Amino acid sequence: MLVLFGLGLLLASLVWSFIAQAQMGNSWRIGIDAATKTQLVQHGVFRLSRNPIFLSMRVTLLGFFLILPNAVTFATLLLGDALMQIQVRLEEEYLRQTHGEEYQKYCQRTRRWL
């Protein structure tokens, strides 16, 4: 039963990630690119979560652990989550500096994860 739930999480996270990347349009970046200013995306799944792609990655790691529960997948889940928490905070600081009050208002109405 956990395997089926894990597979469902993998499928849901894949679809969620594709939707989030498509909705980012030209604002899609990997990491922080201080040289290029992009629009602050606040529509679609970004109304539900400020970090839908990282949320998708967290769900993916959980899905893998449920499909293959062992020490390696558990350690990957924990380490991956810790690294994503760090990256999200770095990106939030960059967005706060880049978009100022607009980002602050976005943070007030949209949760970090869900």
Contact residues for 31 (Cβ-Cβ < 8 A; gap 6+)? 87
Residue 92 located in a structural domain: yes
Give the total number of structural domains in the chain: 1
Q: In 70-83, which positions are buried (b, 16+ CB within 10 angstroms) versus exposed (e)?
A: eeebeeebeebeee
For residue 103, CA distances in Å to 42, 91, 100 come to: 9, 12, 6
Asked whether the beta carbons of 9 and 63 are under 8 A apart, the reply is yes
Separation CA 78–CA 44 (nearest Å): 28
Residue 34 located in a structural domain: yes
Lookup: tokens for 20: 């989030």
Res 29: pLDDT: 79
Q: Per residue of the chain (114 residues), give pLDDT as tens.
A: 899 999 999 999 999 999 999 999 888 777 787 778 889 999 999 999 999 999 999 999 999 999 999 999 999 999 999 999 999 999 999 999 999 999 999 999 999 999
pTM: 0.91
Query: Which structural domain, as residue segments, surrounds residue 92?
Result: 2-109
Res 36: pLDDT: 80
Residue 114 located in a structural domain: no
